[in-house]
């Protein structure tokens, strides 16, 4: 294959013949599909970017060795908001542009976070299989109205969830490391105060680089009736501490769309927990968000390769 036009695509929902494929081909590039569906072997990783001038990637790690051995590589575009899976320092060292797709999925993320809250409040995830099994459960749930929604991180998805919470009549408390203009309906507090106030504590921040944000200490400061929601990054939560906190009644439960190891191993202790709901990293996976992310990533790749400034370059 001509190394001057090869674009490696690992995002599993991008496929031959779709809009992204057609856009790349219309600019003379040749998409090469290597979908990410789990950890790759060392040999697979070392060969992944070989011969490519550009890549549109999912959330799998892109290491310094992978970048260094891809001598033709000019640009890596994440089909998502986060880019912590890419060795940014190595990319910069080897003059490889790294782009992400901010703003494409924040409403999708906020809607799933709300859905997880509703499922935990009304036990929807338990009722459906019970009815399917022939039972007729009638346990009382709780309402979101009047409860306190704590949000850690106030980027686009945090702001979108805050708006949904306010619309439902919730009190909204926010912790952010980036000061925001005052909002009359929202209380901005420090991390501890946000955790202490929350009936639902929803994570929307980037990894800190200094270990899990939600550790045993923070969990101990939450209400025994509180529920943790994570649609951001698995690394934000100490999963062992969470398991212990839920099983010991320190908090009431958790709903996680992201975990430290994805896909989650079949034998992982997070599976099968009565009060911990685990999803398969679906927060940003709507048809609309996928369309926007794929096209923005492709446009960024094309821009870099054609000598133009991409939409959102992070290095």
User: Annotated catalytic sites, by residue?
Assistant: 233, 262, 281
Q: Which strands, in side-by-side order, build the sheet including 54-57?
A: 30-33, 6-9, 54-57, 75-78, 97-99
Cα distances (Å, whole numbers) of residue 100 to 76, 103, 175, 301, 309: 9, 10, 24, 10, 13
Buried b or exposed e, range 289-306, using 16+ CB within 10 angstroms? bbebbbbbbbbbbbbbbe
The answer to whether the peptide bond before residue 263 is cis (omega within 30 degrees of 0) is yes
Hey, CA dihedral for 56, 230, 157, 313, is it positive or negative?
A: negative
Nearest of 36, 42, 32 to residue 10 by alpha carbon: 36
């Amino acid at each position: 294959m001509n190394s001057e036009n090869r674009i490696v695509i690992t995002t599993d929902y991008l496929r031959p013949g779709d809009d992204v494929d057609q856009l790349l081909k219309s600019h003379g590039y040749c998409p090469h599909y290597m979908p990410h569906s789990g950890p790759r072997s060392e040999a697979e990783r070392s060969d992944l970017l070989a011969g490519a001038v550009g890549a549109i990637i999912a959330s799998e790690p892109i290491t310094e060795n992978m970048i260094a051995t891809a001598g033709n590589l000019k640009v890596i575009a994440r089909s998502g908001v986060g880019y912590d899976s890419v060795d940014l320092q190595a990319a910069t060292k080897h003059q490889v542009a790294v782009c992400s797709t901010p703003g494409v999925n924040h409403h999708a993320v906020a809607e799933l976070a709300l859905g997880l809250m509703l499922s935990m409040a009304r036990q929807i995830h338990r009722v459906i299989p019970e009815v399917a099994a022939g039972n007729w459960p009638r346990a009382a749930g709780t309402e979101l109205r009047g409860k306190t929604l704590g949000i850690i991180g106030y980027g686009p998805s945090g702001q979108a969830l805050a708006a949904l919470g306010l619309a439902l009549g919730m009190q909204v408390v926010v912790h952010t490391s980036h000061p925001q203009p005052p909002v009359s309906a929202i209380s901005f507090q420090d991390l501890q105060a946000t955790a202490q106030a929350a009936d639902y504590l929803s994570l929307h921040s980037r990894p800190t680089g200094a270990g899990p944000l939600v550790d045993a200490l923070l969990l101990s400061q939450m209400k025994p009736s509180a529920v943790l929601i994570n649609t951001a990054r698995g690394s934000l939560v100490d999963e062992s501490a969470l398991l212990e906190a839920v099983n010991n009644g320190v908090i009431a439960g958790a709903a996680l769309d992201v975990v430290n190891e994805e896909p989650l191993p079949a034998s992982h202790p997070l599976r099968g927990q009565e009060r911990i709901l685990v999803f398969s990293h679906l927060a940003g996976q709507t048809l609309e968000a996928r369309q926007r992310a794929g096209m923005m990533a492709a446009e960024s790749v094309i821009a870099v390769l054609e000598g133009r400034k991409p939409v959102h370059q992070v290095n």
